[in-house]
Amino acid sequence: MNLDSQSVDLYWTVDGDLYFKDEDGDVGVADADENAILEGSIMRRLQSNVGDWRDQPEIGCNLSEFMGMPNTAETAALITDRIISTLTADDLVKGADLNVDVVPIATNKVLILLEVKALEPTLEGDEVLIGFSYDMRDNRMIPRMIGA
């Protein structure tokens, strides 16, 4: 894993913006606290297609390739494989530390749930839960609050 409990990066929102703090207007940072840096790295990859980042051509999951596919168990398996390979290819997450579930929640929509071993334990436990829905008709990804 290229992240550890001391890693600090700029905070990148799920909307794709830098975050500026309300109190002093300074740029926000993501670190191991609340595992924000880990969540950010994962979401950045899953929300990107290869080629979106000009100078980082390796980044991306290409979930858009599943747009228009039937919402079946086979498609869910393909999405699962794609996410696992994207996150484990360069050891961002070890395979043993990652669990991915893809479940249908509507005709064209699946809920994607990731359990990842946390950089630092949180009140909820040793794992970070990340969830988002993916609309295979509109190619839209919406983060979901898990366990809230």
- Do 136 and 67 meet the contact criterion of CB atoms below 8 Å apart? yes
Sequence-distant (≥ 6) Cβ neighbours of residue 117 within 8 angstroms? 93, 94, 97, 98, 126, 127, 128
Q: Which is nearer to other proteins, 12 or 132 (CB)?
A: 12
Instruction: Give the integer Cα–Cα distance in Å for 90 and 97.
Output: 14
Q: Which is nearer to other proteins, 40 or 118 (CB)?
A: 40
Place of tokens 């500026």: 20
Structure tokens that stand for 43 in this block: 């979401």
Instruction: Rule CB under 8 A: say whether 54 interacts with other proteins.
Output: yes
Instruction: Rule CB under 8 A: say whether 56 interacts with other proteins.
Output: yes
Instruction: Rule CB under 8 A: say whether 7 interacts with other proteins.
Output: yes
- Do 76 and 84 meet the contact criterion of CB atoms below 8 Å apart? no
Instruction: Rule CB under 8 A: say whether 92 interacts with other proteins.
Output: yes
How many residues of this chain bind other proteins (CB under 8 A)? Answer: 25
Instruction: Rule CB under 8 A: say whether 132 interacts with other proteins.
Output: no
Contact residues toward other proteins (CB under 8 A) are 2-3, 6-12, 18, 27, 29-30, 37, 40-41, 44-45, 53-56, 58-59, 92
